[in-house]
Amino acid sequence: MSALSMERFFGGAPQVHESAPGRVNLLGEHTDYNDGYMLPVATPQRTEVALAASRDGHFNLYSATLDASVRFAPAEAAPPGFASYIEGCIRMVEAEGFSVPPLRVYVSTALPVGAGLSSSAALEVAMLRALRTLLALPFDDVALARMAQRAEIAYAKVNCGIMDQMAASLADTGHMLFIDARTLSYQLCEIPTDSEMIVVDSGVPRSLAASKYNERRAECDEAARRLGVPTLRDVADPDSVEALPAPLRQRARHVVRENARVLEAVGGVGARRFGELMNESHASLRDDYEVSIPALDYLTDYLRVQPDVYGARLTGAGFCGACVALCRKGAAARAGAAALARFNAGGMQGSLLIPVLSHSEDNNE
Ligand code: GLA
């Protein structure tokens, strides 16, 4: 069965049509909920949301990606699935004191779901952008990201940090977005000269990710409490974490050093050093933070040994999903194909997610 077109769903053109990207994080993993720093890039794939008034007093949602329809009354809760993200955004707007009329909502995405590129943040930010345009709401892009995060926590029941929603709201595909999770200040930075990125999916499905994510958050809070600081971002002496008992010592070490890596990278290092920082980040996520799995270790190894690859790491929360590699300009496609051939020869189902994510000069966004 083929999906409904937007025109058929609305019986003409929608009133508004907005979109938002997913994200690939280059550096700064598991730092956002520790008030730290990160450096994501937007994906070229985007999620689209179109809206028009509904004439039957209900919210009528349609996902062209899933070919699924959902209908609910304004006073009802939406069923689980893509509709809960949409409802979460509506409720966040209402919580700010604005009323949202019943709507027809059309959703489609080019983002793979569950591959670690934050398709959920893309959906939330696209929906909030569409509501902002339709209702002329006075929210800036940071406010939008915060509302999207609250929607994710309250309605999708994922206790996430702010990185994904900030990236979906503020990043582009030609720059790295430096984010300070405490102040929510941000800056677009140049990708290292003469480099490009490739993003490869391990094909490993989600498993322990949610429970381990919450466990890591709790460990970080406990480590900060024992160190007598509000968050791990506030650790002034990196050596102080060494006095903590295991595994808090390793968790805190990762966060403190990962923050330092992001700050070094935004200081303007070349591609070679940036790649080293990515390799160090992966080792730290594997050994100290313990969120990698053998498949992600193999995949990053196979990427790293390719000619003209500066560095590679898992991207996102870990336990499944994708890896990103920084490559010499022009080398990414070959490196990705060679690494994937080796990975899949071992019986894995890896695939290319983003063939080449590149420098701003050749980006038309
Ligand atoms: C997930 C969360 C983010 C962030 C990353 C890890 O993507 O949604 O807030 O914590 O994991 O860096």
| Minimal-distance CA residue to ligand 1 atom 11 | 317
Tell which one of 38, 113, 163 to mutate to probe ligand 1, the residue whose CB is within 8 A of the most ligand atoms. Answer: 163
Please compute the mean of the pLDDT values over residues 15-28 and round it to a whole number.
Answer: 98
- Where residue 275 sits, what CATH number does that domain have? 3.30.70.890
Average pLDDT over residues 9-22: 98
- Taking only the tens place, the pLDDT of each residue in 42-70 is 999 999 999 999 999 999 999 999 999 99
Can you tell me the mean pLDDT for 82-97?
A: 97
Atom index in ligand 1 nearest the CA of residue 162 equals 9
Strands 351-357, 195-201: pairing kind = antiparallel
Domain annotation covers residue 220: yes
Task: Identify the residue whose C-alpha is closest to ligand 1 atom 1.
Answer: 317
Distance from residue 58's CA to the centre of ligand 1 (Å):
34
Same domain, 281 and 230: yes
Say yes or no: CB of residue 32 within 6 Å of ligand 1.
yes
Do 185 and 219 lie in one domain? The reply is no
For the stretch 113-138, pLDDT in tens is 888 899 999 999 999 999 999 999 99
- Give nearest CA residue, ligand 1 atom 8: 160
Cα 56 to Cα 137, 149, 245: the distances in Å are 24, 30, 60
Give the per-residue pLDDT at 357. 82
pLDDT of residue 204 exceeding 60, the answer is yes
Tens of pLDDT along 289-320?
Answer: 999 999 999 999 999 999 999 999 999 999 98
**Which residue range forms the structural domain that includes residue 262?**
192-358
Amino acid sitting at position 269:
V
Decide which of 171, 189, 207 is a domain's last residue.
Answer: 189
Q: Is 202 found in the same domain as 182?
A: no
Determine the pLDDT at residue 113. Answer: 87
pLDDT of residue 152: 94
> Measured between alpha carbons, how far is 288 from 133 in angstroms, rounded to an integer?
44
243 and 178 share a domain?
Answer: no
Q: Is the CB of 29 under 6 A from ligand 1?
A: yes
* Total count of domains within the chain: 2
Calculate ∠ Cα 171-193-262, nearest 5°: 55
d(CA 337, CA 348): 14
pTM of the full structure: 0.96
Same domain for 165 and 90: yes
Q: Tell me the CATH number at 34.
A: 3.30.230.10
Which one of 163, 189, 215 terminates a domain?
189
Structural domain includes residue 36: yes
Structure confidence at residue 364 (pLDDT):
39
Task: Look up 141 and say whether it is catalytic.
Answer: no
- Cα(89)–Cα(124) distance, integer angstroms: 6
Same domain, 315 and 210: yes
Same domain, 334 and 198: yes
Q: Residue 303: helix, strand or coil by DSSP?
A: helix
Reported as a pLDDT band with limits 50, 70 and 90, residue 211 is confident
Q: 166 in helix, strand or coil? A: helix
Same domain, 143 and 42: yes
| Residue 255: closest CA among 177, 166, 247 | 247
Mean pLDDT, residues 189-194 taken together: 94
- Check pocket membership of 151 for ligand 1, CB cut-off 6 A: no
Task: Specify if 1 maps to a domain.
Answer: no
